[in-house]
Structure 1
């Protein structure tokens, strides 16, 4: 069974959380999440954290103003992908530059002209994503909206 079929089975049997866990196991990034865009704020729909860390307050990841998120670049450019935000001139002045070091995000479209939000992997540490995994994630972004 191929990975795409396995993902679909995870989504069908365990819902969005199971699907995001499957995706998170494929990458080095600590977090995998789906965010819904509403009134210029991104609201977390589901978040998978690779680490069990009771001292980390995930509250700051629950709702993020669009202008303070990397998701704004997903909206503008159709994706955003970086393994290292530190030193990126395009991010100078961004509140999360160097804090959230790596980020990969894609839009989730519920129709051709309506964006639900974003699918993203992110981490405080520098993390790369292979081109093959990015291509897989693009396919996933077209599948996920039916599970939202």
Structure 2
């Protein structure tokens, strides 16, 4: 369970620095290169905000992608998705995305009415384990992120 201090720190950063600051905060505690918010737009997954630990610009192929080419397609409200290494994960043998996104740890962003809006995730193109505590923090802040991403002015 995330500490009250971590949750309060995240909330304050989100209020003062927006989504970019919130994602940077979450990324500090993980080995993954990227921490991001994506929203579902029909059969397309669109990037809303992305933090790259290497400080690079958003790669064009991460701006929008077919949902069926993303591991985000497996996320549902209350059903997160995690894989440290999709290339060794038997759930993906023979799938087109098997070697695209190697490490993916994501959780649902759900609207107040219960609809799935998007995902909050850590990912990398190399195998990357994620501590349970770091994933629990991701899940704990997801409702706040969902509200803020949809309406940053409250």
TM-score normalised to structure 2 length: 0.87
Q: Secondary structure at the match of 2:13?
A: helix
Is the Cα contact below 8 Å between 2:106 and 2:121 reproduced in 1? yes
Whether 1:105 aligns to 2:113 is no
Find the partner of 1:46 among 31, 49, 71: 49
Is the Cα contact below 8 Å between 1:34 and 1:120 reproduced in 2? yes
Is the Cα contact below 8 Å between 2:33 and 2:124 reproduced in 1? yes
What is the match of residue 36 of structure 1? 39
Find the partner of 1:9 among 9, 12, 16: 12
Partner Cα distance (1:34, 1:101) in 2: 18
The superposition leaves residues 75-108 of structure 1 with CA deviations (integer Å, 9 ceiling, x where unpaired) of: 3871110111112221123333233211001000
Whether 1:136 aligns to 2:137 is yes
The superposition leaves residues 110-143 of structure 1 with CA deviations (integer Å, 9 ceiling, x where unpaired) of: 1242111000100011111111111111101122
What is the match of residue 23 of structure 2? 20
TM-score normalised to structure 1 length: 0.91
- Specify every segment of 5 or more residues in structure 1 that has no aligned partner in the other structure, as ranges: none
C-alpha RMSD of matched pairs (Å): 1.8
- Specify every segment of 5 or more residues in structure 2 that has no aligned partner in the other structure, as ranges: 150-154
Is the Cα contact below 8 Å between 1:68 and 1:94 reproduced in 2? no
In the alignment of these two chains, the number of paired residues is 146
